[in-house]
Chains A and B, each alone.
Chain A
Amino acid sequence: MAEKYPFTIEQFYKFVSERKLMAAKCKKCGTMLLPPRPMCTKCFSSDLEWVELKNKGKLLTYTVIHVSSKQFESLIPYAVGIVKLGDGPKLPGMIQDVEPEKISVGMSLEVDFDTTIPSEWPTWPRYFFKPS
C-alpha cells in the first residue's frame, strides 16, 4: 500500500504537531532517513515508510548559546545539543527544563513538544529535549 504521507520536511513537522517524532525508512535497504527525503540516498529506492522514533536518547554533545539571532534573544542563555535517539538517528534541538551547569555529555534525555504554530512561514512547531 502506498504511503499516504509525503516524505517531506513539512510532513515531519506535521507529525511534530501531533507530538510524534517520525523518520522515513527505506524498505529496500533499511536506511533511516532523517531529515526525511523522497528518495533513499543510499540505494536510490523510493519505496519508503514512516516509522516512529524512540522518544528517549543520549546527549552526544552540547553548547550553551549566549549570542543568538534576534528571534531567540529572549531565551539566552539557552542550551542546544545533538541527541542519539535509541539505536536510531541523531537529532539536534534545544535542551530545556535543566540548568545549563547540570548538562553533561552522555546524559539521558527525552523528547517533548511545543506545538505552538507560528502564523507565518515556516509554520512549524518545535520538538525539544529535557532530562528523563
Chain B
Amino acid sequence: MVGKRLATIVSAGLSKFGRREGLYGRELFAEAAKEAYERCPNLIPKKDIKALFVGHMGESYEHQGHTGPTLADWAGLLPVQATRIENACASSGVALRLGTSAVFSGMYDIVMVGGVEKMTHRTTSDVTEFLAMASDFPFEQWHGITFPGLYALMATAHMHRYGTTEEQMAMVAVKNHHNGALNPKAHMQKEVTLEKAMSSRVIAWPLKLYDCSLITDGASCLILTKPELAKKFTDTPVHIIGSGQASDAIGLYEREDITTLKAGKLAGQEAYNKAKVKPQDVNVAEVHDCFTIAEIIAYEDLGFCKPGKGGSLVEEGATKIGGKIPVNTSGGLKSKGHPVGATGVGQAYEIYLQLTGQAEKRQVEGAEIGLSHNVGGSGATATVHIYRRG
C-alpha cells in the first residue's frame, strides 16, 4: 500500500525551453500558466487559485527581484498571496514542496506552484558569475571556484574513489540528448555522439562542454488541489505521495564525503518513507543532471544502484527509455535545458506527462510511480518528490 495523497496535480504548463529572445521572464511564465489553464477548462483561475509559490534564483539576470507578485500579475492571479522562493537551482522544487504543504495543511484548497529564469541574454561569464552566487563566497567564489568547478571537484573525487570514467559521464549526455531530441519543448533537440561529447572543449576538467547543462530561458507551473477536489478538474490526476527536503553546508569543502550529496540522500529517504515506496518501485525519474556527474551521483543517492555503481548503471543502459529505470526522459537539464528557477517544477511537469500517458515518443509504458529530484547549488539544498498516477 502506497502512502497517503498529500496533494494532487490537476494541470501543468511549461513554456518552450530555449533561447527565447525578446521575451521577459514574466512573459514566459504567462506562457506556462496559459497552457495549464487550457488543460483545465473547469478551473476559474481568479476564483479558484488562492496562492502562488514560485521559484526564481537570480535578480541579476533581468535586474528584477520581487518576482512573486510580478508573476501573479502576469498569470492573471492578482491579488492572491504570491511568494518567491530562492534555493538556487532547487528554487521551484522547494516551491512545489511549499505548495504541497499549503494544500496538505488545509490552508488552501487550490494553489499554483511554478518557477522561472531568463538567462540567455547575458554573456557566459556573467551567467558563470551569477550561478556561482549559489556557492560559498568567502572560500569558494573568492578563490576562483566556478559552479562547474564544484561539480568537477566531485567528479575527480568520484573517479578517484570508484573508477568512474569520463566516458561514463559522456554516456549520460548521449542518453539525455537522445531523449531531448524526442521532446518538442527541449532547448537542444539534437542527438550527440559519444565521440563528440568526449572531444568537446574543457569547461572545468574533467567536465567538458557536453557534461554541462544548458543556459536556458523557461518557465513552469502546476496546479495543485486537495485530492478530494481533483475529480472536478480532471479525469487524469497525478497524486503527490512523497516529499522530502534537506540541507547541507554551503561549502563543498566542509562536507565529509563529496562523492555523494547527503542532502539528496536524506530528501530521498524522507520522500520514500512518506510515499511508502522503494527505489525499485519507481517507473520513471527526473533527476538533477546539472552536470553529468550529478546524474551518476543521483542514481546512487536515490538507491537506483549501490554507491560507486552509477557509472556502470548508465553504461548498461538501465536508465534509457525502455531500461529498468528510465531517467530524464525529458532530456534533463542537459538537453531540455536548465532555466534554474523553473527546473524543479519543470521536472514535475515531465513526470505529470509520463503518468498521464502524454509523453508521446518518450512515453514509458505503464508508468505508475514517478520521482523528481532537484538540487540547489552544489548540494546545500535538495528536494525529492514522489508521484502516483490517479
Contact = CB atoms under 8 A, between A and B. Distances in A.
A80 B129 contact: no
A58 B135 CA distance: 23
A34 B255 CA distance: 12
Interface string A49-74: 00000000000111111111111110
Interface stretch (B77-85, B99-107, B139-147): B139-147
Interface in B123-167: 124-126, 128-129, 132, 138-146, 148-149, 152-157, 160
A126 interface: yes
B134 to A, nearest CB: 13
Interface string A29-62: 0000011000000000000000000000000111
Contact of A82 (B141, B142, B202, B252): B252
Contacts of B157: 60-61, 105
Contacts of B160: 61, 105
Contact of A62 (B142, B156, B251): B156
Interface residues of B, number: 36
Nearest to B154: A61
B40 interface: no
Contact of A78 (B125, B144, B203, B253): B144
Given A69-B125, A70-B129, A80-B143, A63 B138 contact: no
A62 to B, nearest CB: 6
Contacts of B253: 82, 90-92
Given A80-B143, A94-B144, A105-B160, A67 B128 contact: yes
Given A35-B138, A61-B153, A90-B254, A66 B144 contact: no
A126 B156 contact: no
B4 to A, nearest CB: 35
A65 B142 contact: no
Interface residues of A, number: 36
Given A63-B205, A69-B132, A35 B251 contact: yes
Contacts of B252: 82, 92
Contacts of B148: 65, 67
Contacts of B251: 35, 92
B359 interface: no
Contact of A65 (B129, B149, B156, B254): B149
B201 interface: yes
Contact of B205 (A9, A66, A73, A90): A66
Contacts of A71: 129, 144
A117 to B, nearest CB: 13
B258 interface: yes
Interface string B293-310: 000000000000000000
A82 B254 CA distance: 10
A70 B155 CA distance: 24
B204 A63 contact: yes
Interface in A70-91: 70-73, 75, 77-78, 80-82, 90-91
A93 interface: yes
Given A64-B202, A68-B128, 18 more contacts: A9-B138, A12-B138, A60-B157, A61-B160, A62-B153, A63-B149, A66-B205, A67-B124, A67-B128, A67-B204, A71-B144, A77-B202, A80-B149, A82-B153, A82-B252, A82-B258, A93-B139, A126-B142
